[in-house]
Amino acid sequence: MNYWIKYIFTFLIIKKKQFDKLFFSLKKNEYTKFVILCAPRSGSNWLHTLLNSHAQIFSYGEILRRRFEKAPTQVILPLDQLVFSPHQKQVKAVGLKLFYHYLNENNYRQSFQEIVNDTSIKIIHLTRKKTLEQYLSLIKAQESKKWSQSQSSTKFASIHINPNEFYEYKHNQSINEQAVLKVFEKHKIFTLTYEDLYSKPEGLLEELQLFLKVKPTKLFSLLTKQATGNFKDSILNWKDFEKRN
């Protein structure tokens, strides 16, 4: 689909859902609640926009972070007011993004616990198999201040990665992942990987839509991968990692 056609479709779908929520009085809570659970740079922005291209799905993305950054001294509203409030009856699934590290951060702990306590909330667990690529993506996003991108990919300069810092990151992420899965063990969980989402999206997204109890349709996103090509060429000291693998 042409980029600008996608853009117009996405704009109209999202704005209609927002308009209906604000101005129509006939609203219900009869929808599937969900959370996209992941670590940063797992493809969650892409998944969030894919879900929002569905007329029956309302994904609020990183609403917790946005609210905290907008008013850091104020307590974040309960989720039944902020996200899981009544929506128009045509909306069949409503959710937000939740990062692993929110479990241990004071700013988000209340919201995290609300989700843990409500076992009706379904968990979409998004992971990334290639942790070094994920770590490289994280560093480049932090340096460039670009966390998502549409249309053309960006050419990033090669960088040096400290192996000890990477392996500490990998270890901590594994601990955080196991910790959050433990607290969500009573929830229904749909697990998918970044790699599968890019390589075979159609069948996987159809399963996910059925998991959310919405009518399956073709989903689309305006976002693209921020960097292309062989990721090894982006690491100046790649041989340091070859030695340890």
pLDDT per residue over 147-204, tens digit each? 555 555 555 678 889 989 999 999 999 999 999 999 999 999 999 999 999 888 889 9
Tell me whether residue 231 is in a domain: no
Q: Which of 68-77, 207-216, 220-229 has the lowest mean pLDDT?
A: 220-229
Tell me, what's the pLDDT at 5?
Answer: 62
Does residue 6 contact residue 95 with C-beta atoms inside 8 Å?
no
Confidence at residue 172, expressed as pLDDT on a 0 to 100 scale: 94
pLDDT confidence tier of residue 9, bands split at 50, 70 and 90: low
CA 53 to chain centre: 14
Q: Which residues contact 229 (CB under 8 A, 6 or more apart)?
A: none
Domain assignment present for residue 203? The answer is yes
Instruction: Return mean pLDDT, the chain.
Output: 85
Q: What is the pLDDT of residue 169?
A: 93
Percent of the chain past pLDDT 70, that is, above it, reads: 79
172 lies in some domain = yes
CA torsion angle 32 38 42 43 (round to 10) = 20
Backbone angles phi, psi at 95, to 5 degrees: -160, -175
4 has a pLDDT exceeding 70? no
Residue 44, in any domain of the structure = yes
Please tell me the total count of domains within the chain: 1
Q: What is 228-243 written as a DSSP string?
A: -S-GGGGBTTHHHHHH
What is the model's pLDDT at position 196?
93
Would 230 be classed as within a structural domain?
Answer: no
Q: What is the pLDDT of residue 74?
A: 82
**How many percent of the chain have pLDDT more than 90?**
52
pLDDT, tens digit, 9 for 90 and up, residues 43-83? 999 999 999 999 899 999 999 999 988 888 887 889 999 99
Where in the sequence is the domain holding 219, given as residue range(s)? 3-225+236-244
pTM for the model stands at: 0.85
Per-residue pLDDT, 236? 87
Residue of 5, 90, 19, 14 whose CA lies nearest to 50: 14
pLDDT at 112 over 90: yes
More confident residue, 71 or 145: 71
Q: Is residue 200 part of a domain?
A: yes
Q: Specify if 87 maps to a domain.
A: yes
Are the C-beta atoms of residues 158 and 92 closer than 8 Å to each other?
no
Query: CATH no. for residue 109?
Result: 3.40.50
What confidence tens digit (pLDDT) does each residue in 126-140 have? 999 999 999 988 888
